[in-house]
Structure 1
C-alpha cells in the first residue's frame, strides 16, 4: 500500500548533481511513495532525466541532476516508486533508480519518469572470448567461461586461461561439488571432470562478486543480463539430449558443457562458448539444455 510521504521525509531525499534546472509549479504535489522489491530491474532509455525531489510547504520541486543519454550502457535498479500530481491535475509515476554498469563502479541515483524505463527486447553484452582449445584445456570449459565473465567486468584482463587455472580449486576425492575433479588438460576415465556452481562461485569471488544462482529460471537469467551480469551456464555439448551417468556422489550428465551466456533476443540466446566460439543458439535448444540442471553462476 502507498504511504503518504511526510514533509520531513521528502526534504530528506538526496539531491544529486550540480547546476541542474528545477521544475516547480504551485499545484505540483507528491501524492504518495512506497518502496518496491529491488528485483524489479530494468535498463534505462537514452531519453529523459534523473531528478531530485524537494518540497517547500505543499509545493514539490523536481531538480534535474543527470541526463539519461549520458548513460547509454547503464542498467537501473528500482527501489522506490512515487506518484506526482502535476499542475495540470494529472498524476504521473516516478521511480527512484540507482545505476549499475560493467564499465564503472561509480553509481548515480535519482527519480525518473517511469515511462523512460524500458525493458529491452534484445541484450548483447559482447563478453570477450576465451578459447579452451587454444591451450589444450580440453576439460577446462568452466574455468574459461568464468574467465570470460571476469574479463567482461574488467577483472584479470591480462591473465590468460593457463595462469588462471593454476588457482583452480581441486577436489581431493574427485567430487565436483567440492572442486574440480580430474585434470582440465586430459580425460580421466571414470571421473566426472567438472567443478559445480558452488565451488566455482566461491573461486570467482576471490576476484569479483560472483553468485551461485542455480535454480534460476530463464527469465531470471535474462534479468541478470539486463544488469550487465553475464552468466556461466551448465548445458550439454551441442545442446544435445542429456546422457546420464552414475557416480559415487550422485548422477551427472556425461555430455555436459559449460559456457557464458551474454545475450538474448526474441527466439534466441547469445553465448561465448569456450569450445566453439561466440554465436546465437535457438531459445528452444538452449532452454532444453539448460533446464536439465538449472546450474548457473552470475558474474556481478
Structure 2
C-alpha cells in the first residue's frame, strides 16, 4: 500500500454535544496515513455508526463532521475504496474507510468516511430474489432467460414482464452457437444442438435493461462480494449439481447436463439460489463450488 504522510491537523468533532472546547485540546489529532484499498462490498450491521466528511482549512486544520447516520441505511450496501489511519488526541489510532453506497442512480449515492468496525462484512446474506418457473410456461430449456429475469425483477426492472414476453426478445444464434446467442428453442429439445446462451451474449442482452456484467472467471469469493453489493449473479452450474458430462460441438466442448440459476445468498457452508427448475433453496457450498468451478461462467446483475 502506498502511504502519504499528511501534516498534523486538529480534529474538530462535529457531533452535537461531543465537540471539544479549545482549552481542552492539549494534544492534536492527526491523519497519520491514507491510501487506496482493494474494493469490496460490505453491508452495515451496526446502526450506531456515522458517515463523516473530512475537511481541511487553509491552516491545515481537519474538521470531521457527521453527514449521514447508518441507522437510516440498515439495508444499504457500501463499497470501500480508501482507508485512513487517524491518531486522536488520546494517542490511539483508528482506521476509517471511505465508502460509497451502491445504487443504480449515481446522483443518489451517499458517501463518506466511516469507522472501520462500524461497517462489517456480513457472515450471511440472503437477497431473497424472486422465483420464476421456467416449467410453468413449458420453457424447458429457458433457464438462462428465467434466471436473468429473476435478477432484473430483484432490481425492480421489468416487473410487469413475464417470462414468455421476456423471451420474445431473447437473442438467437443463426448458427446455433451459444457464444453468439441462444441456440435452438427454449421450448423444446433440439437434437444435436447445445441449447444455451453463454455469458457474453446474455450480458449484452441484459444491458438493454440495466447494468449487467459478464464476470466469467470469477472465484466464489468474488461471487460473494457481488452478493454483498446486492448484485444477484446468474451462474452456470450443472443440473442437480451433478458431475459434469462433457460432449464436443463444432464451437467447442460443452457440458450436456449444464443448468443455469440465480445466486442470491450465502452463509457458512451454504449458498442460496433461485433455481428456475426447482425453486428457492440452500445448497451446500461443496456441491455449489464443484458445479460452478467446471466453467466459472457468471453474469452479475448490477
Please indicate, yes or no, whether the TM-score normalized by the shorter chain is above 0.5.
Answer: yes
| Aligned residue in 2 for 1:156 | 158
| Aligned residue in 1 for 2:4 | 3
Deviation at 1:54, TM superposition (A): 2.3
In structure 1, distance between residues paired with 2:138 and 2:226? 31
3-state secondary structure, aligned to 1:170: coil
| Aligned residue in 2 for 1:210 | 212
How many residues align? The count is 289
Q: Confirm or deny: 8 A CA contact 1:101 1:227 kept in the other structure.
A: no
3-state secondary structure, aligned to 1:84: strand
Deviation at 1:85, TM superposition (A): 1.5
Moved more, 42-51 or 155-164: 42-51
Deviation at 1:167, TM superposition (A): 0.5
Q: Confirm or deny: 8 A CA contact 1:22 1:64 kept in the other structure.
A: no
Among 164, 179, 182, which residue is 1:180 paired with?
182
In structure 1, distance between residues paired with 2:121 and 2:72? 18
Q: Confirm or deny: 8 A CA contact 1:130 1:144 kept in the other structure.
A: yes
In structure 1, distance between residues paired with 2:140 and 2:68? 48
CA deviations on 1:217-244 (whole Å, 9 max, x unpaired) are: 1101001000000000000111111111
| Aligned residue in 1 for 2:284 | 282
Deviation at 1:99, TM superposition (A): 0.6
Deviation at 1:286, TM superposition (A): 0.6
Deviation at 1:29, TM superposition (A): 2.2
| Aligned residue in 1 for 2:44 | 44
In structure 2, distance between residues paired with 1:22 and 1:138? 63
In structure 2, distance between residues paired with 1:76 and 1:47? 16
Among 251, 255, 271, which residue is 1:269 paired with?
271
Alignment of structure 1 residues 1-300 onto 2, 5 Å: 1-5=2-6, 21=16, 24-25=19-20, 26=25, 27-37=28-38, 39-45=39-45, 46-56=47-57, 57=59, 59-101=61-103, 106-300=108-302
3-state secondary structure, aligned to 1:200: helix
In structure 1, distance between residues paired with 2:301 and 2:251? 27
Moved more, 40-49 or 252-261: 40-49
In structure 1, distance between residues paired with 2:104 and 2:130? 13
Deviation at 1:247, TM superposition (A): 0.7
In structure 2, distance between residues paired with 1:289 and 1:65? 45
Deviation at 1:105, TM superposition (A): 7.2
Deviation at 1:6, TM superposition (A): 5.9
TM-score, with normalisation over the residues of structure 1? 0.91
Structure 1 gap ranges (5+): 11-18
Q: Confirm or deny: 8 A CA contact 2:7 2:60 kept in the other structure.
A: no
Q: Confirm or deny: 8 A CA contact 1:73 1:101 kept in the other structure.
A: no
TM-score, with normalisation over the residues of structure 2? 0.91
- The 1:162/1:6 distance shift into structure 2, 3 A limit, reads farther
